[in-house]
Amino acid sequence: MPYSLPIEAATVPNLRDLGSIPLAGGRTVRPGLVLRSGQLDRFAPGADPLFDALGVRTVVDLRTDRERAARPDVIPPGGRLVVADVLADLVSSGAASKLGTVMADPLAANRLLGDGRAAEALISDYRSFVAGDSGRAAYRTLLTELASPADGPVLFHCTAGKDRTGWGAALLLLLLGADPATVEAEYLAVNPAVRAAFAPVVEAFTAAGGDPRVTEELLTVRPAYLAAALETLTDGWGDAETYARTALGLTDETLDALRTNLTA
Cβ–Cβ under 8 Å, residues 162 and 14: yes
Average pLDDT, stretch 16-35? 97
Name the pTM for this structure: 0.94
In one letter, which amino acid is 36?
A: R
pLDDT for 90 equals 76
| pLDDT, mean of residues 8-17 | 97
Alpha carbons within 13 angstroms on the beta-carbon side of residue 189 total 25
Rounded mean pLDDT of 92-119? Answer: 76
pLDDT mean over 212-235: 96
Residue 251 has pLDDT above 80, yes or no: yes
Among candidate residues 195, 218, 179, the one with its CA nearest the CA of residue 6: 195
Q: Is 157 helix (H, G, I), strand (E, B) or coil?
A: strand
Q: Would you say 85 and 100 are in contact if contact means Cβ atoms under 8 Å apart?
A: no
Query: Which domains, ranges and CATH numbers included, belong to the chain?
Result: 5-262 (3.90.190.10)
Q: What is the pLDDT of residue 162?
A: 97
pLDDT at 96: 58
CA–CA separation, 263 and 177 (whole Å): 10
The pLDDT, as a whole number, for residue 97 is 56
DSSP character for 9?
-
Start-end of H helices in the chain: 49-52, 65-70, 99-103, 106-113, 117-131, 133-146, 164-176, 180-188, 191-207, 212-218, 223-237, 240-246, 252-262
pLDDT in tens, 137-196: 999 999 999 999 988 899 999 999 999 999 999 999 999 999 999 999 999 999 999 999
72: pLDDT strictly greater than 60: yes
Is the pLDDT assigned to residue 100 strictly greater than 80?
A: no
What pLDDT is recorded for position 178? 98
Q: Which residues of 51-69 are buried (b: 16+ CB within 10 A; e: fewer)?
A: bbebebbbbbbbbbeebbe
CB 113 within 8 A of CB 228: no
pLDDT value for 2: 79
Given this model, what pLDDT does residue 91 score? 56
DSSP bridge partners of 261: none
- The answer to whether residue 66 scores a pLDDT higher than 70 is yes
The rounded percent of the chain whose pLDDT value lies above 70 is 95
Mean pLDDT of the chain: 94
